[in-house]
Structure 1
Amino acid sequence: MSTRKIIVLNGHPGQMSLSKSLSEAYAGAARESGHQVRYHDLSQMRFDMDYGEGGYKNTKPLEPELEAFLADLEWAEHVVLATPLWWGAIPAKLKGLFDRALLPGRAFDSRNTNFLGLPAPLLKGRTARVLMTSDTPAMLLGLFYSNAIKKVLARQILGFVGIKPARFSTFAPATGAEGDRVRKWLRKAAQMGAKAA
Protein backbone atom coordinates (compact mmCIF):
# COMPACT_ATOMS: atom_id res chain seq x y z
CA MET A 1 0.00 0.00 0.00
CA SER A 2 1.37 3.43 -0.92
CA THR A 3 1.62 6.02 1.81
CA ARG A 4 -0.28 9.28 1.67
CA LYS A 5 0.15 12.80 3.02
CA ILE A 6 -2.82 13.47 5.28
CA ILE A 7 -4.06 16.57 7.10
CA VAL A 8 -6.43 15.81 9.98
CA LEU A 9 -8.53 18.62 11.45
CA ASN A 10 -10.50 18.19 14.65
CA GLY A 11 -13.21 20.72 13.85
CA HIS A 12 -14.84 20.77 17.30
CA PRO A 13 -14.19 24.02 19.20
CA GLY A 14 -14.28 22.34 22.63
CA GLN A 15 -11.26 20.99 24.51
CA MET A 16 -12.76 17.51 24.91
CA SER A 17 -15.14 15.95 22.40
CA LEU A 18 -16.06 12.83 20.50
CA SER A 19 -14.86 14.59 17.33
CA LYS A 20 -11.43 14.98 18.90
CA SER A 21 -11.32 11.30 19.90
CA LEU A 22 -12.32 10.24 16.39
CA SER A 23 -9.75 12.49 14.73
CA GLU A 24 -7.00 11.28 17.07
CA ALA A 25 -7.94 7.63 16.44
CA TYR A 26 -7.78 8.22 12.70
CA ALA A 27 -4.48 10.13 12.87
CA GLY A 28 -2.83 7.61 15.20
CA ALA A 29 -3.72 4.62 13.04
CA ALA A 30 -2.64 6.45 9.88
CA ARG A 31 0.78 7.21 11.40
CA GLU A 32 1.19 3.61 12.56
CA SER A 33 0.51 2.48 8.98
CA GLY A 34 3.27 4.70 7.64
CA HIS A 35 1.25 7.64 6.36
CA GLN A 36 2.50 11.18 6.88
CA VAL A 37 0.04 13.02 9.11
CA ARG A 38 -0.24 16.66 10.12
CA TYR A 39 -2.82 17.24 12.84
CA HIS A 40 -4.71 20.45 13.67
CA ASP A 41 -7.05 20.98 16.63
CA LEU A 42 -9.57 23.79 16.20
CA SER A 43 -9.92 24.20 19.97
CA GLN A 44 -6.22 25.17 20.17
CA MET A 45 -6.24 27.55 17.21
CA ARG A 46 -6.40 31.28 17.93
CA PHE A 47 -7.65 33.52 15.13
CA ASP A 48 -10.28 36.15 14.40
CA MET A 49 -13.27 34.28 12.97
CA ASP A 50 -14.82 37.46 11.58
CA TYR A 51 -14.01 38.25 7.98
CA GLY A 52 -14.89 41.80 8.92
CA GLU A 53 -14.74 44.76 6.58
CA GLY A 54 -12.08 43.19 4.39
CA GLY A 55 -12.77 41.85 0.95
CA TYR A 56 -10.83 39.53 -1.29
CA LYS A 57 -8.74 42.52 -2.39
CA ASN A 58 -8.17 43.68 1.18
CA THR A 59 -7.92 40.52 3.27
CA LYS A 60 -6.82 40.34 6.86
CA PRO A 61 -3.35 38.86 7.29
CA LEU A 62 -3.60 35.21 8.30
CA GLU A 63 -2.75 34.42 11.90
CA PRO A 64 0.04 31.82 12.33
CA GLU A 65 -2.47 29.04 13.06
CA LEU A 66 -4.38 29.76 9.85
CA GLU A 67 -1.22 30.02 7.77
CA ALA A 68 0.01 26.68 9.15
CA PHE A 69 -3.36 25.06 8.41
CA LEU A 70 -3.45 26.39 4.86
CA ALA A 71 0.16 25.35 4.19
CA ASP A 72 -0.64 21.82 5.39
CA LEU A 73 -3.80 21.77 3.27
CA GLU A 74 -1.67 22.62 0.23
CA TRP A 75 0.84 19.90 1.22
CA ALA A 76 -1.75 17.15 1.78
CA GLU A 77 -3.16 14.56 -0.59
CA HIS A 78 -6.04 13.58 1.71
CA VAL A 79 -8.08 15.81 4.01
CA VAL A 80 -9.81 14.47 7.10
CA LEU A 81 -12.32 16.63 8.97
CA ALA A 82 -14.04 15.62 12.20
CA THR A 83 -16.99 17.86 13.04
CA PRO A 84 -20.20 17.84 15.02
CA LEU A 85 -23.49 18.71 13.36
CA TRP A 86 -24.98 21.66 15.28
CA TRP A 87 -28.30 23.21 14.24
CA GLY A 88 -27.96 21.70 10.79
CA ALA A 89 -24.49 23.10 10.20
CA ILE A 90 -20.87 23.08 11.34
CA PRO A 91 -19.68 25.03 14.40
CA ALA A 92 -19.22 28.77 13.94
CA LYS A 93 -15.48 28.64 14.64
CA LEU A 94 -15.00 25.97 11.98
CA LYS A 95 -16.96 28.08 9.48
CA GLY A 96 -14.76 31.01 10.49
CA LEU A 97 -11.66 28.96 9.71
CA PHE A 98 -12.97 28.24 6.21
CA ASP A 99 -14.03 31.88 5.71
CA ARG A 100 -10.58 33.18 6.65
CA ALA A 101 -8.26 30.51 5.21
CA LEU A 102 -9.84 29.50 1.89
CA LEU A 103 -8.82 32.57 -0.05
CA PRO A 104 -8.35 33.43 -3.72
CA GLY A 105 -4.85 32.78 -4.90
CA ARG A 106 -4.43 29.91 -2.45
CA ALA A 107 -7.69 27.93 -2.58
CA PHE A 108 -9.27 29.16 -5.82
CA ASP A 109 -8.47 31.45 -8.74
CA SER A 110 -11.13 34.11 -9.22
CA ARG A 111 -9.30 35.47 -12.30
CA ASN A 112 -9.77 32.16 -14.11
CA THR A 113 -13.45 31.24 -14.35
CA ASN A 114 -15.42 28.62 -16.24
CA PHE A 115 -18.44 29.18 -18.48
CA LEU A 116 -20.68 29.43 -15.39
CA GLY A 117 -18.46 32.09 -13.84
CA LEU A 118 -17.10 29.76 -11.15
CA PRO A 119 -13.45 30.28 -10.19
CA ALA A 120 -10.88 27.59 -10.92
CA PRO A 121 -10.17 25.40 -7.87
CA LEU A 122 -6.54 25.40 -6.73
CA LEU A 123 -6.64 22.39 -4.38
CA LYS A 124 -7.47 19.73 -6.96
CA GLY A 125 -6.05 16.24 -6.61
CA ARG A 126 -7.02 15.88 -2.97
CA THR A 127 -9.69 13.63 -1.50
CA ALA A 128 -11.60 14.05 1.76
CA ARG A 129 -13.15 12.06 4.59
CA VAL A 130 -15.60 13.76 6.94
CA LEU A 131 -16.20 12.17 10.36
CA MET A 132 -19.48 13.70 11.46
CA THR A 133 -21.04 13.32 14.88
CA SER A 134 -24.75 13.96 15.08
CA ASP A 135 -27.85 13.21 17.06
CA THR A 136 -29.71 12.71 13.79
CA PRO A 137 -29.01 9.29 12.23
CA ALA A 138 -27.59 9.35 8.71
CA MET A 139 -30.80 7.93 7.19
CA LEU A 140 -32.89 10.71 8.74
CA LEU A 141 -30.42 13.37 7.63
CA GLY A 142 -31.24 12.29 4.10
CA LEU A 143 -34.96 11.71 4.60
CA PHE A 144 -35.84 14.89 6.52
CA TYR A 145 -33.06 17.31 5.61
CA SER A 146 -31.95 16.14 2.13
CA ASN A 147 -28.37 15.75 3.44
CA ALA A 148 -28.05 19.55 3.38
CA ILE A 149 -24.90 19.65 5.53
CA LYS A 150 -23.21 17.03 3.36
CA LYS A 151 -24.02 19.03 0.23
CA VAL A 152 -22.61 22.21 1.77
CA LEU A 153 -19.37 20.54 2.83
CA ALA A 154 -18.90 18.34 -0.25
CA ARG A 155 -19.95 20.82 -2.93
CA GLN A 156 -19.84 24.37 -1.62
CA ILE A 157 -16.72 24.20 0.55
CA LEU A 158 -14.44 21.24 -0.18
CA GLY A 159 -15.56 20.67 -3.76
CA PHE A 160 -15.48 24.40 -4.57
CA VAL A 161 -11.71 24.47 -3.96
CA GLY A 162 -11.15 21.12 -5.71
CA ILE A 163 -11.11 18.66 -2.81
CA LYS A 164 -13.19 15.70 -3.99
CA PRO A 165 -14.67 13.28 -3.66
CA ALA A 166 -15.66 13.89 -0.04
CA ARG A 167 -16.83 10.73 1.72
CA PHE A 168 -18.84 10.88 4.93
CA SER A 169 -19.02 8.68 8.00
CA THR A 170 -21.76 9.60 10.47
CA PHE A 171 -21.60 8.66 14.15
CA ALA A 172 -25.05 8.98 15.70
CA PRO A 173 -26.75 9.46 18.04
CA ALA A 174 -23.73 11.09 19.65
CA THR A 175 -25.12 12.79 22.76
CA GLY A 176 -24.59 10.54 25.75
CA ALA A 177 -22.78 7.89 23.71
CA GLU A 178 -20.37 5.84 25.80
CA GLY A 179 -18.87 2.43 26.37
CA ASP A 180 -19.01 -0.16 23.60
CA ARG A 181 -20.68 2.20 21.14
CA VAL A 182 -17.87 4.75 21.36
CA ARG A 183 -15.20 2.06 21.27
CA LYS A 184 -16.79 0.68 18.10
CA TRP A 185 -16.77 4.15 16.52
CA LEU A 186 -13.13 4.71 17.46
CA ARG A 187 -12.18 1.36 15.93
CA LYS A 188 -13.99 2.35 12.74
CA ALA A 189 -12.11 5.66 12.60
CA ALA A 190 -8.82 3.84 13.20
CA GLN A 191 -9.57 1.36 10.42
CA MET A 192 -10.18 4.23 8.01
CA GLY A 193 -6.97 5.90 9.18
CA ALA A 194 -4.90 2.79 8.62
CA LYS A 195 -6.15 2.68 5.02
CA ALA A 196 -6.06 6.47 4.56
CA ALA A 197 -9.67 6.11 3.45
Structure 2
Amino acid sequence: MRVAIVFNHPYEGSFGNAILNAITKGLNGANHEVDLMHLDKDGFNPVMSKADLKAFVEHKPIDPQVIDYNERLKKADHLIFVFPIWWDLMPAMTKGFIDRVLAPGVVYDHHPRGFGLVPLLKNMKSVTIITTMNKPKIMYSLLIGNLIRKAMLRSVFKTMGYKNLKWISFNRIKVVSQKKRVKWLNDLEKQFSRFK
Protein backbone atom coordinates (compact mmCIF):
# COMPACT_ATOMS: atom_id res chain seq x y z
CA MET A 1 0.00 0.00 0.00
CA ARG A 2 1.20 3.51 -0.78
CA VAL A 3 0.84 6.02 2.05
CA ALA A 4 1.28 9.74 1.38
CA ILE A 5 2.32 11.79 4.41
CA VAL A 6 1.94 15.57 4.40
CA PHE A 7 4.23 16.84 7.14
CA ASN A 8 4.52 20.41 8.38
CA HIS A 9 6.88 21.47 11.18
CA PRO A 10 9.98 23.64 10.76
CA TYR A 11 11.83 22.38 13.85
CA GLU A 12 13.62 19.05 13.47
CA GLY A 13 13.64 18.47 17.24
CA SER A 14 9.86 18.77 17.56
CA PHE A 15 7.57 16.07 18.88
CA GLY A 16 5.93 16.25 15.46
CA ASN A 17 9.16 14.95 13.93
CA ALA A 18 9.23 12.14 16.49
CA ILE A 19 5.65 11.29 15.44
CA LEU A 20 6.69 11.28 11.79
CA ASN A 21 9.57 8.91 12.56
CA ALA A 22 7.32 6.58 14.58
CA ILE A 23 4.60 6.24 11.94
CA THR A 24 7.18 5.91 9.14
CA LYS A 25 8.95 3.15 11.07
CA GLY A 26 5.64 1.35 11.62
CA LEU A 27 4.60 1.65 7.96
CA ASN A 28 8.02 0.58 6.66
CA GLY A 29 7.99 -2.40 9.03
CA ALA A 30 4.73 -3.51 7.44
CA ASN A 31 6.26 -3.10 3.96
CA HIS A 32 4.11 -0.14 2.98
CA GLU A 33 5.52 2.46 0.61
CA VAL A 34 5.83 5.88 2.26
CA ASP A 35 5.70 9.03 0.14
CA LEU A 36 6.70 11.98 2.33
CA MET A 37 5.70 15.50 1.33
CA HIS A 38 7.73 17.53 3.82
CA LEU A 39 6.31 21.00 3.25
CA ASP A 40 9.05 22.81 5.19
CA LYS A 41 11.98 21.02 3.55
CA ASP A 42 10.30 21.25 0.15
CA GLY A 43 9.97 25.03 0.59
CA PHE A 44 6.26 24.83 -0.24
CA ASN A 45 4.69 28.23 -0.90
CA PRO A 46 1.26 28.34 0.79
CA VAL A 47 0.14 31.59 -0.88
CA MET A 48 -2.56 31.38 -3.53
CA SER A 49 -1.48 33.87 -6.20
CA LYS A 50 -3.70 35.43 -8.86
CA ALA A 51 -2.25 33.01 -11.44
CA ASP A 52 -2.78 30.06 -9.07
CA LEU A 53 -6.41 31.02 -8.52
CA LYS A 54 -7.03 31.27 -12.26
CA ALA A 55 -5.44 27.83 -12.72
CA PHE A 56 -7.51 26.48 -9.80
CA VAL A 57 -10.76 27.69 -11.40
CA GLU A 58 -9.75 26.27 -14.80
CA HIS A 59 -8.67 22.93 -13.24
CA LYS A 60 -5.20 23.35 -14.77
CA PRO A 61 -2.52 23.77 -12.07
CA ILE A 62 0.58 25.68 -13.20
CA ASP A 63 2.95 25.44 -10.23
CA PRO A 64 5.31 22.46 -10.84
CA GLN A 65 5.35 21.63 -7.13
CA VAL A 66 1.55 21.59 -6.92
CA ILE A 67 1.42 19.40 -10.04
CA ASP A 68 3.97 17.03 -8.48
CA TYR A 69 1.98 16.79 -5.23
CA ASN A 70 -1.22 16.21 -7.25
CA GLU A 71 0.33 13.30 -9.14
CA ARG A 72 1.60 11.75 -5.93
CA LEU A 73 -1.83 12.02 -4.28
CA LYS A 74 -3.39 10.17 -7.22
CA LYS A 75 -1.15 7.18 -6.45
CA ALA A 76 -1.82 7.13 -2.69
CA ASP A 77 -4.03 4.59 -0.92
CA HIS A 78 -4.00 6.54 2.32
CA LEU A 79 -3.28 10.14 3.27
CA ILE A 80 -1.79 11.22 6.60
CA PHE A 81 -1.32 14.80 7.77
CA VAL A 82 1.05 15.57 10.67
CA PHE A 83 1.23 19.13 11.99
CA PRO A 84 1.09 21.22 15.19
CA ILE A 85 -1.98 23.21 16.19
CA TRP A 86 -0.95 26.86 16.47
CA TRP A 87 -3.51 29.41 17.67
CA ASP A 88 -6.14 26.68 17.44
CA LEU A 89 -5.62 25.93 13.73
CA MET A 90 -3.13 24.41 11.32
CA PRO A 91 0.09 26.23 10.29
CA ALA A 92 0.09 28.30 7.09
CA MET A 93 1.82 25.65 4.97
CA THR A 94 -0.79 23.02 5.83
CA LYS A 95 -3.59 25.48 5.07
CA GLY A 96 -1.86 26.41 1.81
CA PHE A 97 -1.61 22.73 0.88
CA ILE A 98 -5.37 22.41 1.36
CA ASP A 99 -6.01 25.57 -0.66
CA ARG A 100 -3.58 24.97 -3.51
CA VAL A 101 -3.11 21.18 -3.80
CA LEU A 102 -6.52 19.74 -2.90
CA ALA A 103 -7.85 21.13 -6.15
CA PRO A 104 -10.94 20.54 -8.28
CA GLY A 105 -10.30 18.27 -11.21
CA VAL A 106 -7.69 16.40 -9.17
CA VAL A 107 -8.96 15.65 -5.66
CA TYR A 108 -12.67 16.37 -6.21
CA ASP A 109 -15.14 17.62 -8.75
CA HIS A 110 -18.53 19.27 -8.60
CA HIS A 111 -21.48 16.92 -8.79
CA PRO A 112 -23.00 16.85 -12.30
CA ARG A 113 -26.40 17.74 -10.82
CA GLY A 114 -24.88 20.91 -9.43
CA PHE A 115 -25.05 20.11 -5.73
CA GLY A 116 -22.24 18.66 -3.66
CA LEU A 117 -18.80 17.33 -4.52
CA VAL A 118 -17.51 14.03 -5.88
CA PRO A 119 -14.17 12.50 -4.77
CA LEU A 120 -11.70 11.87 -7.60
CA LEU A 121 -8.85 10.09 -5.77
CA LYS A 122 -10.13 6.59 -6.51
CA ASN A 123 -7.34 4.79 -4.61
CA MET A 124 -7.85 6.82 -1.43
CA LYS A 125 -9.15 4.51 1.31
CA SER A 126 -8.80 6.85 4.28
CA VAL A 127 -7.42 10.09 5.69
CA THR A 128 -5.74 10.42 9.09
CA ILE A 129 -4.84 13.72 10.72
CA ILE A 130 -2.30 13.68 13.56
CA THR A 131 -1.80 16.87 15.55
CA THR A 132 0.07 18.18 18.58
CA MET A 133 -0.92 21.06 20.81
CA ASN A 134 -0.31 22.51 24.25
CA LYS A 135 -3.95 22.97 25.28
CA PRO A 136 -5.77 20.28 27.25
CA LYS A 137 -8.14 18.31 25.00
CA ILE A 138 -11.24 19.29 26.97
CA MET A 139 -10.38 23.00 26.70
CA TYR A 140 -9.87 22.72 22.94
CA SER A 141 -13.14 20.83 22.64
CA LEU A 142 -15.37 22.92 24.90
CA LEU A 143 -13.94 26.43 24.53
CA ILE A 144 -12.57 26.33 20.99
CA GLY A 145 -14.95 23.79 19.46
CA ASN A 146 -12.52 21.26 17.94
CA LEU A 147 -11.70 23.49 14.97
CA ILE A 148 -9.42 20.92 13.30
CA ARG A 149 -12.24 18.36 13.24
CA LYS A 150 -14.62 20.96 11.82
CA ALA A 151 -12.20 22.47 9.32
CA MET A 152 -10.32 19.45 8.00
CA LEU A 153 -12.48 16.40 8.55
CA ARG A 154 -15.94 17.83 8.07
CA SER A 155 -15.47 20.93 5.94
CA VAL A 156 -12.73 19.60 3.64
CA PHE A 157 -12.66 15.80 3.30
CA LYS A 158 -16.23 14.90 4.26
CA THR A 159 -17.54 17.63 1.97
CA MET A 160 -15.41 16.22 -0.86
CA GLY A 161 -16.98 12.80 -0.27
CA TYR A 162 -14.07 10.97 1.36
CA LYS A 163 -14.76 8.43 4.09
CA ASN A 164 -12.79 6.70 6.86
CA LEU A 165 -11.61 9.97 8.37
CA LYS A 166 -9.69 9.94 11.65
CA TRP A 167 -8.09 12.56 13.90
CA ILE A 168 -5.42 11.64 16.47
CA SER A 169 -4.61 14.50 18.84
CA PHE A 170 -1.68 14.67 21.26
CA ASN A 171 -2.33 17.34 23.87
CA ARG A 172 -0.45 19.27 26.57
CA ILE A 173 2.80 18.49 24.77
CA LYS A 174 4.94 20.86 26.82
CA VAL A 175 3.99 19.39 30.17
CA VAL A 176 3.60 15.64 29.64
CA SER A 177 6.36 13.36 30.91
CA GLN A 178 9.02 11.82 28.70
CA LYS A 179 7.66 8.41 29.69
CA LYS A 180 4.25 9.33 28.30
CA ARG A 181 5.77 10.70 25.08
CA VAL A 182 7.68 7.45 24.57
CA LYS A 183 4.47 5.45 25.14
CA TRP A 184 2.61 7.61 22.61
CA LEU A 185 5.34 7.04 20.01
CA ASN A 186 5.51 3.28 20.65
CA ASP A 187 1.72 3.03 20.37
CA LEU A 188 1.79 4.96 17.09
CA GLU A 189 4.49 2.74 15.64
CA LYS A 190 2.48 -0.37 16.56
CA GLN A 191 -0.73 1.12 15.22
CA PHE A 192 0.79 1.91 11.83
CA SER A 193 2.63 -1.42 11.65
CA ARG A 194 -0.85 -2.98 11.58
CA PHE A 195 -2.11 -0.53 8.98
CA LYS A 196 -4.27 -2.00 6.19
User: In which range does the TM-score fall when normalised by the shorter chain?
Assistant: 0.7 to 0.9
**1:105-143 Cα distance to aligned partner (Å, 9 max, x none):** 101113x3456x223221354202211101122233222
Residue pairs, 1:62-73, within 5 angstroms: 62-64=63-65, 66-73=66-73
Report the equivalent of 2:34: 37
Q: Percent identity?
A: 21
Match of 2:118 in 1: 120
Instruction: Output the amino acid matched with 1:88.
Output: D
In the alignment, does 2:2 pair up with 1:5? yes
- 1:129, 1:166 within 8 Å by CA — same for their partners in 2? yes
State how 1:65-144 maps to structure 2 within 5 Å.
66-110=66-110, 112-114=111-113, 117-123=115-121, 125-144=124-143
Secondary structure of 1:46's counterpart equals coil
Paired residues, number: 191
TM-score relative to the length of structure 2: 0.85
Report the TM-score, using the length of structure 1 for normalisation.
Answer: 0.85
Counterpart AA for 1:63: P
1:25 corresponds to 2:22: yes
Q: Specify the SS of the correspondent of 2:36.
A: strand
On the 8 A contact 2:77/2:126 being kept in 1, the answer is yes
Q: CA deviation at 1:154?
A: 0.4
Equivalent position SS for 1:130: strand
Change (3 A) 1:37 1:72: same
Secondary structure of the residue aligned to 2:135 is coil
Name the counterpart of 1:168: 167
What's the RMSD between the two structures over aligned residues?
2.2
Match of 1:192 in 2: 191
